[in-house]
């Protein structure tokens, strides 16, 4: 299959599909972190006009996720950035590509455009972290968990306690030019499941 992976600069999803023999390319306005020749450094929207069998999109969540929306009433200009981000997601969803998956953490897409088909967690795919992530799917089945892990600890009320996003502290990074990219890296277990089940 010919696959476009939008808004990916670390190549985990692209490389997982390429390892299974697919003609997969990533696209981002930033260069590929590993210097891959299978990466378009540009706006992804013009590429949607080409013939693709599948689009996997990871739009930046800075102005879309629950953890950032509260800033819209405090920081001038942020509300407009959220509207731009929603318009971008809507364009991805409307692409004339038969199979589409759009991934984003829990946020405003579900209330402003539509709810995701499913929510997944990294700990369902062999990664001991918690990061509820929505999948908006067209022409693809739900992603089936591949390796459900037991929680490492429990809270006083008996609820499971997972590491928040990463044990390496990526969720606690201070402001920097690379912060969003580092936090948005797709978990290897999820990338492998996408390639295995959708490829």
The domains of the chain are located at 2-198
Q: Sign of torsion, CA 53 16 8 39?
A: negative
pLDDT at 150: 87
pLDDT at 80: 94
Residue 105 half-sphere exposure toward CB, CA atoms < 13 A: 22
Alpha carbon distance 135, 139 (integer Å) = 12
Provide the 3-class DSSP secondary structure of residue 47. Answer: helix
pLDDT at 47: 98
pLDDT string in tens for the chain (199-residue length) = 999 999 999 999 999 999 999 999 999 999 999 999 999 999 999 999 999 999 999 999 999 998 888 888 888 889 999 999 999 999 999 999 999 999 999 999 999 999 999 999 999 999 988 899 999 999 999 999 999 998 877 776 777 777 765 555 555 555 555 555 566 689 999 999 999 999 9
**181: its two tokens:** 């990219």
Helix (H) or strand (E) holding 191: helix 188-198
Provide the 3-class DSSP secondary structure of residue 45. Answer: helix
Class of the domain covering 2-198:
alpha beta
pLDDT at 183: 64
């Amino acid at each position: 299959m010919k696959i476009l992976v939008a808004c990916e600069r670390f190549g985990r999803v692209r490389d997982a599909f390429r390892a299974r023999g697919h003609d997969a390319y990533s696209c981002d306005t930033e260069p590929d972190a590993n210097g891959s020749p299978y990466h378009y450094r540009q706006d992804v929207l013009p590429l949607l006009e080409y013939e693709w069998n599948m689009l996997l999109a990871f739009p930046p969540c800075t102005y879309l996720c629950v953890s950032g929306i509260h800033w819209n009433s405090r920081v001038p200009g942020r509300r407009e950035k959220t509207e731009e981000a929603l318009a971008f997601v809507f364009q991805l969803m409307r692409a004339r590509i038969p199979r589409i998956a759009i991934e984003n953490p829990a946020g405003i897409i579900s209330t402003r455009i539509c709810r995701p088909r499913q929510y997944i967690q990294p700990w369902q795919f062999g990664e001991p972290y918690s990061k509820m992530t929505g999948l908006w799917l067209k022409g693809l089945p739900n992603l089936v968990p591949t390796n459900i892990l037991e929680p490492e600890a429990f809270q006083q009320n008996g609820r499971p306690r997972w590491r928040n996003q990463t044990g390496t502290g990526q969720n606690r990074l201070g402001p920097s030019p690379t912060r969003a990219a580092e936090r948005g890296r797709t978990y290897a277990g999820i990338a492998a499941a996408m390639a295995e089940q959708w490829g």
